[in-house]
Amino acid sequence: GWGEALAPVVPEVVGEIIQRLFVPFLLGEDPRNIDVVWSKLYNAMRERGHFTGFMLDAITAIDIALWDLFGKAVQLPVYQLLGGAYRTRIPAYVSGIPRNTKEERIRLALEWKQRGFQAIKLHLGYGLKEDAAIAGYMREALGDSFRLMIDAHWHYTVSEAIQLGRHLEQLDVEFLEAPTLPEDIDGHAEIARALDLSIAVGEAKRTRYQFKERLVKRAADILQPDVGRAGITETRKIANMAEAFNIPIAPHLSVGLGICIAATLHISAAIPNFYVLEYQPTVLPEANRLLKEPIICEEGAYHLPELPGLGVDIDEKALYKAMNNH
């Protein structure tokens, strides 16, 4: 089974945690006991105060690998093991318009629209006036029916986020992501109460325990757990918990490669309260270079892998070549 954690910074730390701390727990375990294994690994580190960070990244990599292994062993795709697919076409939005000028941004956004995508998330956080201006001319260029989202990357205070949000409401922006510091749960709750547009959070969190207070305090309208940080097992628990609060899940997906993307697709298919999935145009081609068969995202949706396990196979020659180049 293949696993992947979203650990782009010093990934060797995650490897060391697995080899030196978790291997003794894993040897002799039944790999089908995925939930039991997750709990054993998490509980083993709880008394040491490791509730998040690299420790959870390591658990995530193991968790995803176990789901892949289980699916291959019984010759079923992971989404079937999770209870079946609510959808086989996974709606996606284009994440980011990486251009510097108004004209270049509009041109690229219209290209995506022409290719069948109906939703774009703008990566902003340049300041209230500039963010408002960019959102304004993008709305004008794309038309009223196009879905537009904003990621502020935690750049604003609570009052600034509310000011920006009120302007974005006039532009019919669908959600405002990461408006203020992720640690400020009460601040997010205040923003969510003040605005009609949805507030989306969650990429920095890894467990149901971290999402619980945000749900209880209504500090978000949309949750964005990253399967590369939370794993399949825990993301499903987060989604199930959010369902009880009538909160949808829009999984975060950034620099995760093929295994991480595939795991996210299976979760996105198997939860009832799925909202929309992130599509990174610059990342997916890099991910596909390490896969024998590509993951496809076209005309505004991903194709759900149907083969056993995660449904993707690593090209090990390409992987080792990439590793040696780095």
- Clarify whether 252 is annotated catalytic: yes
Distance, in Å, from the CA atom of 226 to the CA atom of 242, rounded to the nearest integer, reads: 15
| Residue listed under structure tokens 């892998």 | 305
Distance, in Å, from the CA atom of 221 to the CA atom of 310, rounded to the nearest integer, reads: 29
Catalytic residue among 155, 252, 266, 303: 252
3-state SS, residue 278: strand
Token representation of residue 131:
């963010």
Instruction: Count the alpha carbons within 13 Å of 114 in the hemisphere toward its beta carbon.
Output: 7
Distance, in Å, from the CA atom of 252 to the CA atom of 202, rounded to the nearest integer, reads: 8
Residues 6 or more apart whose Cβ sits within 8 Å of residue 299: 115, 116, 117
The CA-CA-CA angle for residues 268, 42, 242, to 5°, reads 35
- Given CA atoms 137, 140, 146, 149 in this order, what sign does their dihedral have? positive
The CA dihedral of 264, 123, 153, 304, to the nearest 10 degrees, is: 0
Token representation of residue 189:
């709750």
Phi first, then psi, for residue 150 (nearest 5°) are -130, 135
Asked if 232 contacts 264 with a C-beta cutoff of 8 angstroms, the reply is no
Distance of CA 31 to the CA centre of its chain: 25
Asked if 167 contacts 132 with a C-beta cutoff of 8 angstroms, the reply is yes
Distance, in Å, from the CA atom of 209 to the CA atom of 51, rounded to the nearest integer, reads: 9
Tell me the sheet residues that pair with 277. Answer: 92
Q: What is the DSSP letter of 309?
A: B
Q: Which residues are catalytic?
A: 252
